[in-house]
Amino acid sequence: MKTILALEDGKTFKGESFGAEGERYGEVVFNTSMAGYQEILTDPSYKGQIVAMTYPLIGNYGINKEDSESRGIFLEGFVVKEYSKLASNWRSHQSLGDYLKENNIVAIEGIDTRELTLHIRKKGAMKAILSTIDLDEERLVKKARDSLGLVGVDLVKEVSCRKTYAWSKAKAKKYRVVVLDCGLKYNILRVLLKYGCEAIVAPAKTSAAEILKLKPDGLLLSNGPGDPEAVKYVIGTTRELLGKLPIFGICLGHQMLGLALGGKTYKLKFGHHGANHPVKDLRSGKVSITVQNHGFCVDVNSLNKSDIELTHINLNDQTSEGMRHKKLPVFSVQFHPEASAGPHDANYLFGEFITMMKRHA
């Protein structure tokens, strides 16, 4: 089935469908991971985005029952150079194409993803439309231009859980952690469990008073999609809890924490998406290869330097990747220390969170 990807600047790509029929809008971004497409598909942080994979062959190991990072697929569309119709892996129980059709996700193959990636790097991430229905290029470009986009849009409310629930309890519970679900990946919960923590997952709109009633030893602000400035209720809740609980922010959680501390955020030209981003820990000098998925960044110069310390930087573009409060038990990182998929170099940050909770118990 013929499929077209049309960008708001007038650029179009023609290919073939290997997912569901339909028409979907979103910001088109590229992901540089070589594997882990199931984890990428099920990362709620991609809500509102059409994801293009730079690795040319996708789908060769199928889909399994263990590697999903959330309750479903939240991205708007999927773009690859070549879809592997043969899924060969002992863990596979379904092909990628069937999985996308089952979840009503529009997908395109057969386009030059190198050209698309270079175009996004030059022009920046932009609004786009992916369609198997309307094949009129001019009309599709206009639809892309007229679509909502990401800036100023609260996407957290569309991916957060609806009610509070407890993740599997650790056999030897050390600490209780409330995880504010802004679009969290399940591996955050798995890693907390490995560290002996009981994780209580709460909807993003949970108030500070409700969080304190759960008597947690710490609060984790999860990853999630979209513009952090639009999620004012989480920013307000975080501001109320500063100094009352140890707080660890990841990705969107890091950005919202920056805003709660009085800082500002800005949109990156084409974002950071992939499992191979080098990040330097300025405290130790150690460089970790990290998993990243974000289109916004904290402006470290907008923060009070007497209170906030920059702890990590991205070695590709020197943007801020981590910070900590000098007086309060608060720190955060822009990347994903829980990985999944990807390298586990930054897993040590969960150990720092445990130490912080121990110190402030």
Average pLDDT, the chain: 96
Whether 295 contacts 27, CB under 8 Å: yes
Tell me, what amino acid is at 360?
H
Question: Residue 303: which residues within 8 A CB-CB, separation 6 or more?
Answer: 258, 261, 262, 263, 323
pLDDT at residue 221 in the model: 98
pLDDT at residue 341 in the model: 87
Taking only the tens place, the pLDDT of each residue in 152-166 is 999 999 999 999 999
Please confirm, yes or no, whether 109 is among the known catalytic residues: no
Ordered by start, the domain boundaries in the chain are 2-146, 156-359
Q: Which of 36, 17, 309, 47 is nearest to 156 (CA)?
A: 47
Confidence of residue 361 (pLDDT cuts 50, 70, 90): confident
Q: What are the CB-based long-range contacts (under 8 Å, 24+) for 9-16?
A: 9/123, 9/126, 10/141, 11/119, 12/137, 12/140, 12/141, 13/108, 13/111, 13/112, 13/115, 13/116, 14/110, 14/111, 15/108, 15/109, 15/110, 15/111, 16/108, 16/109, 16/110
Whether 350 contacts 195, CB under 8 Å: yes
Residue labelled with tokens 């194409």: 97
CA-CA distance, 212 to 173, in Å (whole number)?
A: 19
Q: Which of 306, 223, 295 is nearest to 261 (CA)?
A: 306
For residue 122, count CB atoms less than 10 angstroms from its CB and return exposed for 0-12, middle for 13-18, buried for 19 or more. Answer: exposed
The answer to whether residue 171 scores a pLDDT higher than 80 is no
Taking only the tens place, the pLDDT of each residue in 232-242 is 999 999 999 99
The answer to whether residue 313 scores a pLDDT higher than 80 is yes
For the segment 178-196, the average pLDDT, to the nearest whole number, is: 96
For the segment 243-259, the average pLDDT, to the nearest whole number, is: 97
Class of domain 2-146: alpha beta
Tokens of 286: 């150690």
What b/e sequence results for 236-263 when a residue is b if at least 16 CB atoms lie within 10 Å of its CB, and e otherwise?
ebbeebbeebbbbbbbbbbbbbbbbbeb
- Taking the model in full, what pTM does it have? 0.95
Confidence of residue 105 (pLDDT cuts 50, 70, 90): very high
Confidence of residue 169 (pLDDT cuts 50, 70, 90): confident
Share of the chain above pLDDT 90, in %: 95
For the segment 202-212, the average pLDDT, to the nearest whole number, is: 98
The answer to whether residue 139 scores a pLDDT higher than 80 is yes
Catalytic residue among 182, 197, 251, 297: 251
Q: Out of 3.40.50.880, 3.40.50.720, 3.40.50.280, 1.10.150.110, which CATH number does the structure's domain 156-359 have?
A: 3.40.50.880
Whether 53 contacts 28, CB under 8 Å: no
For the segment 342-361, the average pLDDT, to the nearest whole number, is: 93
Least confident of 99-113, 139-153, 165-179: 165-179
The answer to whether residue 174 scores a pLDDT higher than 90 is no
DSSP structure class, residue 169: P
Please confirm, yes or no, whether 251 is among the known catalytic residues: yes
Please confirm, yes or no, whether 336 is among the known catalytic residues: yes
Share of the chain above pLDDT 70, in %: 100
For the segment 284-307, the average pLDDT, to the nearest whole number, is: 95
CA distances from 226 to 19, 152, 240, 281 (A): 24, 8, 23, 26
